[in-house]
A = this chain, B = another copy of it.
């Protein structure tokens, strides 16, 4: 019985590598898998690592990077120029940072620079309206919000780019776990918003990358 089977061919097939879901894997298993990537001369991302697992891997792999807010671990973090960013990430509150960062470091793995604009939730809508011109420059927008998840509806009515909405599990009472934000985003009256699973910054980054790849193939 094989302990695991890596999908090393995924990059050829889809243009992006498999990412390692770290939540339920042990440090031992993660180390083995990451060594396999290292042997192939590749970078790799492990997501959702608890702090103690992140620390252990930082020690194991020289030159690696770990972000405790999102639990993202990279074999190496790419240095990228934000002024060339094709993707903008907008978030409603500073409590949503963990999902923002998961998207950010996934795009880093894929060599895509990203700009993050935080704390522009709809309860103080002037904060968003002030940034509209900046936002028009990006080719894809990732919009992150918890609680009532209203931000993508407003952004979607103001801007014409592809918009990927990410509900977060931030909130309490009926908002606990992120179902309120998820349902609000799926029900949005704004046209052409698409949605990822709750807290899935990683998936949003991959969806953005599918679009960017398309642009690159075309040009």
Asked if A51 CB lies within 8 Å of chain B CBs, one says: no
Asked if A173 CB lies within 8 Å of chain B CBs, one says: yes
Asked if A42 CB lies within 8 Å of chain B CBs, one says: no
Asked if A80 CB lies within 8 Å of chain B CBs, one says: no
Q: Is B173 within 8 A of A210, CB to CB?
A: no
Q: Is A178 within 8 A of B189, CB to CB?
A: no
Q: How far is the CB of A29 from chain B (nearest CB, A)?
A: 7
Q: Is B147 within 8 A of A188, CB to CB?
A: yes
Q: How far is the CB of A199 from chain B (nearest CB, A)?
A: 6
Q: Is B186 within 8 A of A195, CB to CB?
A: yes
Contact residue among B3, B94, B195, B197 (Cβ-Cβ distance under 8 Å from A187): B197
Q: Is B160 within 8 A of A150, CB to CB?
A: no
Contact residue among B18, B94, B150, B205 (Cβ-Cβ distance under 8 Å from A150): B150
Q: Is A122 within 8 A of B150, CB to CB?
A: yes
Q: How far is the CB of A146 from chain B (nearest CB, A)?
A: 8
Q: Is A189 within 8 A of B148, CB to CB?
A: yes
Assembly stoichiometry (copies): 8
Which residues of A86-127 have CB atoms within 8 Å of chain B's CB atoms?
Answer: 92-95, 115-127
Contact residue among B162, B175, B191 (Cβ-Cβ distance under 8 Å from A211): B162
Q: How far is the CB of A117 from chain B (nearest CB, A)?
A: 7
Q: Is B177 within 8 A of A177, CB to CB?
A: no
Give Cα distance in the complex from A23 to B173, angstroms.
13
Type the 1/0 row for A181-196, where 1 means its CB is closer than 8 Å to any CB of B.
Answer: 1111111111111111
Q: Is B13 within 8 A of A158, CB to CB?
A: yes
Q: How far is the CB of A125 from chain B (nearest CB, A)?
A: 6
Type the 1/0 row for A4-25, where 1 means its CB is closer than 8 Å to any CB of B.
Answer: 1101011001111011010111
Give 20 CB contacts A-B under 8 Å.
Answer: A1-B118, A2-B118, A2-B119, A7-B123, A13-B158, A14-B160, A14-B191, A16-B192, A122-B157, A123-B154, A123-B157, A148-B185, A148-B188, A162-B211, A172-B200, A174-B182, A174-B197, A180-B186, A192-B207, A218-B218
Lowest 5 CB-CB distances: which A-B pairs, in order?
Answer: A192-B206, A173-B198, A194-B194, A150-B150, A175-B187
